Homo-oligomer: A and B are copies of this chain.
Amino acid sequence: MSACVLFHFPFDPGSRTARLALGESRTDWSEVLVRPWEPGCPLEDLNPSGMPPVVQTTEAGAPLTLLEAGAILGWLEDRAKGPFLLPADPVERAEHRRLVAWFDRRFTDEVNAVLLHERMEKPLLRLGPPEARALREGRNALKTHLAMMEALATQRDWLAGRRLGQADLVAAAHLSVLDYFGEIAWGTYPALKTWYMKLKSRPCFRPLLTDRFQGLQPAPHYADLDF
């Protein structure tokens, strides 16, 4: 048993954030896949929210449980020797934090709660077929967010500035789920596509590319590093 265990659901953006950040940290970790909507999910007893991601670790001796992606990112930052996914520059730190909040609230409310609800939650929870109107609404919102990210990727090496960090991993976690479902028209966003290719080539990203959703193959380019 590893000194660090991650409980995650592979298509939950928060869980993907945790996997990418753990991967970047080169922590030795094992994983437990959970389906939080099913009775008996181990997170019922572990996290008051009932949701992934959760990390349990004994690496510092005493057991430590980290509930929610924010606590996992914070812990990885605390235990790193020096700046890790928050660069030293105060301007870049502020921008990473702004963008993390943007994805936590705006992107989640306007895109995930609509588009991922139709494409992912409905099949998982057997809530019937997607609704055309909701799909259209979610896709329109996604376009606005992608255009904003394209503008950032055009001006900067990484989303928040010169260094890869929390904002890139959180954004990639969200976009990669939508990309599995074929929702990202990469050709329209060339700078963002280059940014995503750089991320996709990193070792931390590999495990995500082998995830498979029940009864649905990924978009053809999903696992392609040169798409």
Contact = CB atoms under 8 A, between A and B. Distances in A.
Contact of A98 (B68, B86, B97, B108): B68
A104 to B, nearest CB: 6
A128 interface: no
B101 A70 contact: yes
Given A90-B60, A104-B104, A74 B97 contact: yes
A33 interface: no
A22 interface: no
Interface residues on A, range: 20 to 34
User: This chain: how many copies in the complex?
Assistant: 2
Interface of A: 48-49, 60, 62, 64-71, 74-75, 78, 86, 90-91, 93-94, 97-98, 100-102, 104-106, 108, 148
Contacts of A62: 91
Contact of A94 (B64, B86, B108): B64
B75 A90 contact: yes
Contacts of A65: 94
Given A49-B106, A60-B90, A104-B104, A98 B71 contact: yes
Contact of A70 (B66, B75, B100, B108): B100
A192 to B, nearest CB: 16
Given A60-B90, A75-B90, A75-B93, A67 B105 contact: no
A67 B65 CA distance: 30
Given A49-B106, A106-B49, A93 B68 contact: no
